[in-house]
Amino acid sequence: MIYWDIFRMALNALWANRLRSGLTLLGVIIGVTSVITIISAIEGFMGSVQAEINKLGPTTFLVVRVGGIITSEDAFFEMIKRKPFEVEYAEAIEDACEDCEKIAMQAYGFSREVKYRDKKLSNVYIRGAGASMIDIVDYEVEHGRFYSYEEDYGGRRVAFVGTTIQKQLFPNIDPIGKTIKINNLKYDIIGIAKEQGATFGHDADKIIFIPFNTFAKDFGTPRRNLTIFVKARSIDVLDKAMDQTRVVLRAYRHVPYDKEDDFSLLTADSIMEQFNNITRFMRFGLIGITSISLIVGGIIIMNIMMVSVTERTREIGIRKSIGARQKDILFQFLFESFILSVGGGLIGISLGVLLGDLLINLINMDMTPSLLAILLGIGISSGIGIFFGIYPAMKAARLQPVKALSYE
């Protein structure tokens, strides 16, 4: 095959100009590496967010006062003026929603210092949640138990703690049955959650669940920050469960029939979608900015190829004089820019994946080497080789043999 021979000639020409080829390669490598790193990092980040949100499970939805997609300024002001939630909503939904399996009220918590004897741990996230919360979200009991309805109803001071609490405050002892202090109030530890692992800098195990009613009693009812977690009986009846919940809440909140809901229902999918929407601009912006370095890499290739064509005008003349056709010359130069860009691309992808990995480990994210990023890298770099290489190659192919031969 003549093209294989031409490919080898292209390789030889690049090898003959090692230093120059190497520097050109570097230009492409930098571009591709930065794009791949950014894409990998973004993908990893989105992946961990997704994983976090998926902890809700596919059959769970949230009822919140403020949330969902904000489409306009008016919608935003309408939202912040919404009436607070009432504690009775949970019971009302429980009574009226046939397709709802579990309902739990949650008070969005805050960070507090937790003490055990003379040991202290600050910034522990305290969540006040109903007793069925354990069946709704993806927390599992490692040891001991979650609190019961009775304990919640009675406002008992019991605590279900994450593994960080155990590790920091109870290094060598069993924490079950021990008493910790939050805000100088005593709580008995009754269970430990299975380890969640840290996600992007946030330690999901540095958490304490206390019964909702206990929370309300000790810290006040946070009516503006109530969230109702609802688990439908199955994925098939999720929509129905949501409709039933909506009907109950509209009645309780006296929403006129011709007005929109003054609350929002969120599923894992809708939260993810919302998150996607919010971050889309940032993600594409980042990719756009780093793509500039790819274009710079392409321009370097084009520049080098232009120099190369001018420098090798005589060589081109010789080739033509012994019978090289336009496409033979075209392909030789195109192969050269293609090898540079794809070679740079492959090295850049490897570096990018490595770097992305490193970056993500720094901030504790899961990182799967993204197939998308790799395919994109190969596609973009070969595209660049052809796009920026075609003009110099055409210039070379169209040289007149006599003129090229007499070029000094």
Partner 1 sequence: MALIETNNLWKTYDMGKVQVHALRGISIKIDKGDYIAVMGPSGSGKSTLMNLIGCLDTPTQGEYHLNGKRVSQMHDDELAEIRNREIGFVFQTFNLMPRSTALHNVELPLIYGGRNREERLQMARHALEVVNLGERVMHKPSELSGGQRQRVAIARAMVNKPSLLLADEPTGNIDTKTGDEIMGLFAELHNNGNTIILVTHEMDIARNADRILFIRDGQIEKEEIVRRAS
From candidates 50, 270, 326, 350, binder to partner 1 by CB under 8 A: 326
From candidates 95, 299, 314, 361, binder to partner 1 by CB under 8 A: 314
Q: Rule CB under 8 A: is residue 405 a binding residue for partner 1? A: yes
Between strands 185-193 and 158-161, the pairing is parallel
How open is the CA angle 354-357-363, to the nearest 5 degrees?
A: 145
- Choices 60-68, 149-157, 345-353, 398-406 (CB under 8 A): range interacting with partner 1: 398-406
Q: Rule CB under 8 A: is residue 318 a binding residue for partner 1? A: yes
From candidates 260, 325, 358, 368, binder to partner 1 by CB under 8 A: 325
For the CB of residue 13, give the shortest distance to partner 1 in the complex, in Å. Answer: 8
For the CB of residue 352, give the shortest distance to partner 1 in the complex, in Å. Answer: 35
Provide the β-strand partners of residue 198: 203
Q: Rule CB under 8 A: is residue 156 a binding residue for partner 1? A: no
CB 386 within 8 A of CB 333: no
- Using CB under 8 A as the binding criterion, the count of chain residues that bind partner 1 stands at 24
Q: Rule CB under 8 A: is residue 324 a binding residue for partner 1? A: yes
Q: Rule CB under 8 A: is residue 120 a binding residue for partner 1? A: no
Cβ distance to partner 1 smaller for residue 145 or 314 = 314
Nearest to 204 by CA among 333, 343, 364: 364
Number of residues assigned to the chain: 408
Cβ distance to partner 1 smaller for residue 280 or 325 = 325
From candidates 171, 201, 220, 323, binder to partner 1 by CB under 8 A: 323
Cβ distance to partner 1 smaller for residue 56 or 329 = 329
For the CB of residue 321, give the shortest distance to partner 1 in the complex, in Å. Answer: 6
Name the 3-class secondary structure at 251: helix
Q: Rule CB under 8 A: is residue 2 a binding residue for partner 1? A: yes
What span, in angstroms and rounded, lies between the C-alpha atoms of 169 and 152? 25
What span, in angstroms and rounded, lies between the C-alpha atoms of 361 and 200? 9
Q: Give the helix ranges, DSSP H, for 197-325.
A: 212-219, 238-252, 268-311, 313-321
Quick note: the x/- pattern for partner 1 over 13-52, rule CB under 8 A, is: ---x------------------------------------
Q: Is the dihedral of CA 67, 69, 73, 75 positive or negative?
A: negative
CB 126 within 8 A of CB 246: no
Secondary structure (DSSP) of 130-195:
-TTHHHHSS--EEEE-PPPHHHHHTT--EEEE-HHHHHHH-SSS--TT-EEEETTEEEEEEEEEPP
- The number of CA neighbours under 13 Å toward the Cβ of 20 is 16
Cβ distance to partner 1 smaller for residue 16 or 362 = 16
Q: Rule CB under 8 A: is residue 402 a binding residue for partner 1? A: yes
Q: Which residue has the tokens 């109030």?
A: 185
- Choices 162-170, 290-298, 359-367, 395-403 (CB under 8 A): range interacting with partner 1: 395-403
Q: Which residues bind partner 1 (CB under 8 A)?
A: 2, 5-6, 9, 12, 16, 314-315, 317-328, 400-402, 405
